[in-house]
Amino acid sequence: MRKSIYLFLIIVICIMSMLMASCDNQPMKVSYSQKTGLLDQNGDIVSNFTYTNSGYVAPELPFDATEYYRIFVPYSKGSGYHTVNYKDTNKLKQLWLDQIQRKGRSDGKVFAIRNRANDRDMNNFQKQHGSQSRYDYYYFKDNGDIVYKGGDKTYYAKEHLIKTFVGAVIVDYRTVKERTEPDAGVTHQDVIHHTGEYTVGAIYKMAINVNEARRLFADAGGGPTDGAYEFVAARKMIWFFAGGFTQDTSLFVRQFYNTNFMEVLVLNPYANEGNTYCLGVDSYYAYYGNYRVGEGATPPIDGFTAQNYPYMTDEKLYLAQRPETIIPLLNHTTTFTDASRWWSFLALPGHKY
């Protein structure tokens, strides 16, 4: 009888060990079962997003609001849910680093971003390919900076610092409700939907300006010889309508003509195109430029006034601010993942450098 009990216990332990090993290899489960939002004095969520079809509406803060928020940061430590003071920029910065370094998975892998036309899977996207045996992805340095490992149109083996990490804030996940298409009625921009779920967003400054990126990574007509130009310029065809008919088209290029311009990057588990283990790459930024400026513009840029220029360039206006304040300021969204049919930007688990 005692031998039978011991044998049973051994079998149970073996099964549990197998299950634990199996679970460790499962993709991150994403759901809305645990809410995020502003916390009251009792640690309960008291408010969250208010949104309409026309966009985000900042909710009024309740009288018992604290400085603490519950946010979701997948692949960070623990369950991915964290309580953080919006003024604690050091903790928010560390949460971003924990996410890109996949601290919650202990599998020896970190996130890297495959480039625009690199459609290879997680086992191959960091390998050399093509007739020139080039790499074609971005990696995160230990300090969070983003480097393109793929050279440029002249020097194939050179690495380029593309974006510099300067801090982190609390923002929302956003999804695309409607893509811009020629038959999309009177809209000429993607219709963005706020999910109502808070996460960490990383503030990045451009390490190279849009015209330098064009010189390094595009052909004479601005065509993206290398996708690193897209990662700076966020080029996208848009359509303008008059009387229900297409009036004309324009290629939107965000005119980040110096390295002061900034964006907030978010790794989005709800926009990974169904790829398990992976995260979509979204960019939020304040932008007031003319959509018809086009390629190779130089200052002055129509719409870049003295009043709104700081919101496009000064991270101090965002750091240590409530998300209710930040989110309306970030009035433009670029979804680098599947933003156009040939774009393959995606954060995949890979190796460092």
Q: Is the pLDDT of residue 121 over 50?
A: yes
> Domain extents for the chain?
32-120+128-350
- pLDDT band at 31; cut points 50, 70, 90: very low
For 217, the token pair is 């990574």
Specify the pLDDT at position 299: 83
Instruction: List, in sequence order, every residue forming a beta bridge with 165; answer none if it has no partner.
Output: 204
User: For 317-332, how does the pLDDT look when each residue is reduced to its tens digit (9 = 90+)?
Assistant: 999 999 999 998 998 9
User: For 8-23, how does the pLDDT look when each residue is reduced to its tens digit (9 = 90+)?
Assistant: 444 444 444 433 333 2
User: For 256-301, how does the pLDDT look when each residue is reduced to its tens digit (9 = 90+)?
Assistant: 999 999 999 999 998 888 888 999 999 999 999 877 777 777 788 8
Specify the pLDDT at position 252: 83
CA distance 212 to 307: 26
The predicted model gives 71-75 an average pLDDT of 97
Task: Name which of 79, 110, 72, 113 is nearest 204 in CA terms.
Answer: 113
- pLDDT band at 92; cut points 50, 70, 90: very high
For 256, the token pair is 């980040």
- pLDDT band at 62; cut points 50, 70, 90: confident
* Ramachandran sector of residue 347 (left: φ over 0; alpha: ψ -120 to 50; beta: rest): beta
Contact predicate 272/199, CB 8 Å = no
Specify the pLDDT at position 261: 98
Q: State phi, psi for 69 to the nearest 5 degrees.
A: -130, 150
User: For 198-256, how does the pLDDT look when each residue is reduced to its tens digit (9 = 90+)?
Assistant: 999 999 999 999 999 999 998 766 666 778 999 999 987 776 666 666 666 777 889 99
State the pTM of this model.
0.85
CA distance 192 to 161: 30
